[in-house]
Amino acid sequence: MLEVVSKIPSYYLFRLTGRPRQLPMNLTLSVSYKCNSRCKTCNIHQRKADELSLDEWRRIFKSLGHGVFWVTMSGGEPFLRQDLSEIVRSAYDECGPSIINIPTNGLLAERIPKVVVDIADYCRQAQIVINVSIDDIGEKHDSIRGVPGNYDRALATFTALKKIGLPNLSIGIHTVISRFNVDRIPAVYNALSGLLPDSYITEIAEEREELCTIDSGITPSAGEYSRAVDYLLSHLKKDHFGKVGRITRAFRIEYYRMVKRILAERRQIIPCYAGFASAQISPDGDLWMCCVKAQSVGNLRNYDFDFKKVWFSEEAGLERRKIKKGECFCPLANASYTNMLHNPRSLCRASLNFLRLS
C-alpha cells in the first residue's frame, strides 16, 4: 500500500501535464463475455468475442511488466474460462499485483473452490479476493439473476470458499443495488452479514455499454439509493468483518457518500483517473479507458500485444482529455477506489474512517 501511495504524485502530474507517463495501477481484465446467469441488471452474455488465448494474455502481461497493484478478473462469469487459473498465474508472474479480485455468480459450486485453491496457493504474495454475488434472498435473488436455484448454489459456493482458510484469501459478498431490490437492502444486508463474509460490498446497477444496459431503467433513483446506503452506512460503522473488511469499509463509507452526490448532481465529484491510473481490457483485446463508455482506443492484437503502444497512443490521449474535461461521470466502484486514492480529501476521509472503525 505504501508503494501505491508513493506513486500518487506521479499519477497526479501525469493527469495534469502528461508527464511522467504512467502505466495503470488498477487494471480490469474481462476474460470472457460468456455467462451462465441471465440477470435483469446485465445483458453482457449477448456480446460476442473472439477471446484472447492464454498465450495472448501472457504476451500482454509481459509488455506491462511489474507495477500493476490491483487486478480484477472480470466477465461475464470468469470461472467459465477453463484456463482462468493459468491466466491469473501468468498475470501474477509477469505483473506482480498485490491484490487479485475475482467476482463470481457462484453457480459453479464444485469448480470454483478448486480453482480458487489453486490460484491462492500459487499467488502467495498477493491478496486474493473472491466476491460472491448475492442480490437478494432465496427466490427473489433467483428472479433477479434469472436462474432457478442460483441462491442455494451461491451459498454453497460461499460456504465452500470460507472453509479453504488460506491466509491470503478473502471471501466477500457483493450486492448490486437496482430498482429490483433497492427497497429490500436492509433485509438483504441483515441476512447476508449473518454469513460472516470477510467483506460486504455493494454497487449500483449501471446503464453501461459494456453490459448492454443503456436505457434499461435498472438504476434506482438518487433518493431510493440514498435511503438504502444510509442504512448500510449506519451498520458499516459498527459491524465487524476483520482487518481486510475494515479497510474496505473505510473506503466504502467514502464511496457511498460520493455516489449519492454523483447521482444527485450528475457530474464528476472528484477528478476521474480512468485512463490515467485505471483501465480495462476486453475479452477480444480492446483497451478501454473506462468500461462504462467501452470506447476502444486500440486492439492489442493489432499492436503485437504491446500494451504501452496502445496506452500511450494518440487515440488514448484523446480519450484522456475527454475524461479530464469532465465530459462523463459515473459511480463505477472499481475506478472510484482509484479516484479516491488520488484525491487528498477523499483519502483523508477514508483514513479517518479507518481509524474510527472498531
Model pLDDT for residues 125-164, shown as the tens digit of each residue: 999 999 999 999 999 999 999 999 999 999 999 999 999 9
Q: What is the predicted pLDDT for the residue at 83?
A: 99
How many CB atoms within 10 Å of residue 260? 19
In which band, very low, low, confident or very high, does the pLDDT at 293 lie, cut at 50, 70 and 90? confident
| Range 212-239 average pLDDT | 91
pLDDT of residue 246: 79
Question: What are the DSSP calls for 171-217, one per residue?
Answer: EEEEEEE-TTTGGGHHHHHHHHHTT--SEEEEEE----TTTT-TT--
Range of the domain at 255: 2-14+22-356
Domain count, the chain: 1
Q: What average pLDDT does the structure give for the chain?
A: 95
Residues in contact with 270: Cβ distance below 8 Å, sequence separation at least 6, in sequence order: 258, 339, 340, 343, 345, 346
- The pLDDT tens digits of the residues spanning 38-50 come to 999 999 999 999 9
Q: What is the pLDDT of residue 356?
A: 86
- Percentage with pLDDT > 90 across the chain: 87
Residue 16, Cβ density class (10 Å: 0-12 exposed, 13-18 middle, ≥19 buried) = exposed
CATH code at position 277:
3.20.20.70
* 237-250 average pLDDT score: 71
Q: Residue 248 has what pLDDT? A: 81
DSSP state of 271: -
> 72 near 102, Cβ under 8 Å?
yes
Identity (one letter) of the amino acid at 346? S
| Cβ-contact 269, 262 below 8 angstroms | yes
- Categorize the per-residue pLDDT at 244 as very low, low, confident or very high, splitting at 50, 70 and 90: low
How much is the pLDDT for 243? 52
Is residue 188 within 8 A of residue 137, CB to CB? The reply is: yes
Residue 239 has pLDDT above 90, yes or no: no
The tens digit of pLDDT for each residue in 78-136 reads 999 999 999 999 999 999 999 999 999 999 999 999 999 999 999 999 999 999 999 99
pLDDT of 358 over the 70 cut? no
Residue 327, C-beta contacts closer than 8 angstroms, at least 6 positions apart: none
Q: What percent of the chain has pLDDT over 70?
A: 97
pLDDT at 72 over 70: yes
| 3-state percent helix, strand, coil for the chain, nearest multiple of 5 | 45, 15, 40
CA distance 290 to 76: 17
What is the model's pTM?
0.95
